Amino acid sequence: MIRVGVVGATGYTAFEAIRLINRHPQATVTAVTSRKDVGTPISDVHRALTGQLDLSLSLADPQQLGADCDVVLCCLPHAASAETVRALSEQDLRVIDLSADFRLRSAAVYERWYATEHPWPERLGEVAYGLPELFAEEIADARLVANPGCYPTSAILPLAPLLKAGVIETDIIVDSKSGVSGAGRTPKLANLYCEANESIAAYSVGKHRHQPEVVDVLDRFAGVQTDVLFTPHLTPMDRGILSTIYVQGRELDAQRVKQLWQEAYAEAPFLHVVDSPPATKHVSGTNHVHMTAIDAGKRVVLLSVLDNVVKGASGAAVQNMNCMFGLDQTLGLGA
């Protein structure tokens, strides 16, 4: 059994991670930590865990985690996460960091977009990016994996093979719609039910932190510098991301796009090319991604859907864990 610690266990991604590990046939949660509510049973924080996990919140003590865990899923906010990851690096365990701290390769880019100094800049540049569909080998060997952002996963997976094949221009528009769970569990006015319900709005237009992540990872994979315009929208639903992506290319059509995807992702168990526009509900609660491409005048419209809390966060973390421990990618993640 792989012993899993969940650091920062009170939020939505941590809950989903615990739920998934609970179902995993070869892994078990052995520690849950938090700065607040130390001593509180985790099932009081996440009542869906009633009777499912008999652990209480503790402070994140690196040595203790080193003794109790084979792998830690770090679900802290950015900056705080890198500090904890650094402390954990002395221990004999692996880390999957669900924050943004190790996704970008450049400390300068990080500091520009996150408006804070990076706590461990020298570690950047050599961290595996946790998309097994693109970086399986690096992940298998890694002691630290940067779990991707939810929006970037929905944009990078459709775009990467097309850029690698050189069939699309680098001027790309990504118009994404996300459920409210992406905003986290901290009480804020904008996330109140009566604010978010029955309403849709764009936010952080052209300046969301996931924009440089998409650009950096596409460059890392395909060696192409793209000009991505990213517009996220807060959508009245718990979970799900739909990205509507506008691309164009000489002699490109939807059929060619799908063919390239089929080739690139022939071995990817969670990626499915479909023939009509996918809905986020089709993948809700699962680690799957549905993608299609549609001809529209001189452009091709790419559509991808995923569950932001699963494939966009904790499901990807479990998938990465499976890769790191030599297991089948799909173990514990449904069929």
Q: What is the footprint of a second copy within residues 156-175 (CB under 8 A)?
A: 173, 175
Give CA–CA dist 80/82, Å, rounded.
Answer: 6
**Does 266 participate in binding a second copy (rule CB under 8 A)?**
no
Considering beta carbons, is residue 143 or 282 the nearer one to a second copy? 282
**Does 246 participate in binding a second copy (rule CB under 8 A)?**
yes
Comparing CA positions, the residue from 111, 81, 210, 102 lying closest to residue 146 is 102
Q: Which of 8, 62, 132, 278 binds a second copy (CB under 8 A)?
A: 278
Q: Which of 227, 263, 267, 328 binds a second copy (CB under 8 A)?
A: 227
**Does 41 participate in binding a second copy (rule CB under 8 A)?**
no
Question: How many residues are given for the chain?
Answer: 335
**Does 189 participate in binding a second copy (rule CB under 8 A)?**
yes
Specify the DSSP element, H or E, that contains 150: helix 150-164
CA atoms within 13 A on the CB side of 48: 11
Specify the DSSP element, H or E, that contains 229: strand 227-234
User: Closest distance between a second copy and the C-beta of residue 293, in Å?
Assistant: 10
Q: Which of 36, 47, 115, 266 binds a second copy (CB under 8 A)?
A: 47
- Residue 128: strand pairing partners: 145
Q: Which stretch binds a second copy (CB under 8 A): 55-63, 74-82, 105-113, 225-233?
A: 225-233
Q: Which stretch binds a second copy (CB under 8 A): 45-53, 62-70, 80-88, 257-265?
A: 45-53
For residue 254, how far is the Cα from the chain centroid?
26
Considering beta carbons, is residue 28 or 63 the nearer one to a second copy? 28
**Does 106 participate in binding a second copy (rule CB under 8 A)?**
no
Comparing CA positions, the residue from 326, 320, 328, 334 lying closest to residue 135 is 320
Give CA–CA dist 5/92, Å, rounded.
Answer: 13
Q: Which of 7, 8, 12, 146 binds a second copy (CB under 8 A)?
A: 12
> Total binding residues for a second copy by CB under 8 A?
72
Comparing CA positions, the residue from 270, 265, 304, 275 lying closest to residue 286 is 270
Q: Which of 74, 301, 317, 324 binds a second copy (CB under 8 A)?
A: 301
Q: Which of 143, 164, 256, 299 binds a second copy (CB under 8 A)?
A: 299
Considering beta carbons, is residue 62 or 132 the nearer one to a second copy? 132
Q: Which of 36, 141, 194, 251 binds a second copy (CB under 8 A)?
A: 194
**Does 203 participate in binding a second copy (rule CB under 8 A)?**
yes
Q: Which of 181, 287, 314, 320 binds a second copy (CB under 8 A)?
A: 181
Comparing CA positions, the residue from 20, 47, 45, 50 lying closest to residue 32 is 45
Considering beta carbons, is residue 198 or 251 the nearer one to a second copy? 198
Active site residues: 150
Give CA–CA dist 130/108, Å, rounded.
Answer: 21
Considering beta carbons, is residue 146 or 306 the nearer one to a second copy? 306
Give CA–CA dist 228/216, Å, rounded.
Answer: 11
Give CA–CA dist 240/296, Å, rounded.
Answer: 25
Give CA–CA dist 30/53, Å, rounded.
Answer: 9
